[in-house]
Amino acid sequence: MYATRPKRPLLLVALALLLTAGVGLRIWWVNTHIPAILTPPALEVYQIGQWVPLEGSFQFSNDEHTENFHVQLVDIDFCTPQEFAQRYNLELSLFGEDEANLPEYVADLTLNFRNDSPDEASDLGHILFMFYELFTPGSLKTFSPHSEVNWAMHPDLGIKLEFKIPPASETGPVHFCLTSYVEATGPVKGNLDQFPKQLQVSITPVRKVIEVPAPDALPS
């Protein structure tokens, strides 16, 4: 009489099925319940001259209330701090006391802002310019707002370079200043080596950027 091979216990089969179902349930839960802050925001890319509808996307907090705000990059010009100071009748010392350690380049932004809110009594919402950065994706070389220079040009800016736009109004073209980085060892060089760059006008829940192509001529 030959011995028969024992059948696989039904318990092991049941456990395997439960394990498979558990893994599937976990994958479903992660995909549908993971906090939005842990997922990369969607990206929208606009061009110079286009109006960018912020639609509630913000730089730091939804307290910015940008639902009815639009941003337009009218123009951008790259120059030296000396040229920028002369252009707007500013003290060069605003960029730093040591002329040997001034930023390599300045990005002169011509921006336009609009608030389409129909409620003229509403005072909600503001633009937080502190986080407007210009960069090439994948590069560490970034242009950031220079607080002292922007305060000199726009004395009404808040401590975070924030400002309001009245409902049903448009600012018209206004100039703002971004500068390349200066480290403890001196100014970072080569900031205009890589294009296109992107001007970030919102971070989340939708990251909105304006693409900046290479200029026809670079500052000498």
30 three-state secondary structure: helix
pLDDT tens, residue by residue, 29-52: 544 454 545 578 899 999 999 999
Please report the beta strands in the chain, taking only residues with DSSP state E, as ranges in sequence order: 42-47, 51-53, 69-79, 106-115, 127-128, 134-135, 142-145, 162-163, 169-170, 174-180, 182-183, 186-187, 197-202, 206-212
Query: pTM here?
Result: 0.81
Name which of 114, 133, 112 is nearest 48 in CA terms: 112
CATH class entry, domain 42-212: mainly beta
DSSP conformation class of 120: T
Mean pLDDT in the chain?
A: 88
pLDDT tens, residue by residue, 76-123: 999 999 999 999 999 999 999 999 999 999 999 999 999 999 876 566
**Domain regions of the chain by residue span:** 10-39, 42-212
Q: Are 150 and 161 in contact (CB under 8 A)?
A: yes
Name which of 149, 8, 142 is nearest 88 in CA terms: 149
Structure-block tokens of residue 215: 């200029």
What pLDDT score does 30 carry?
A: 47
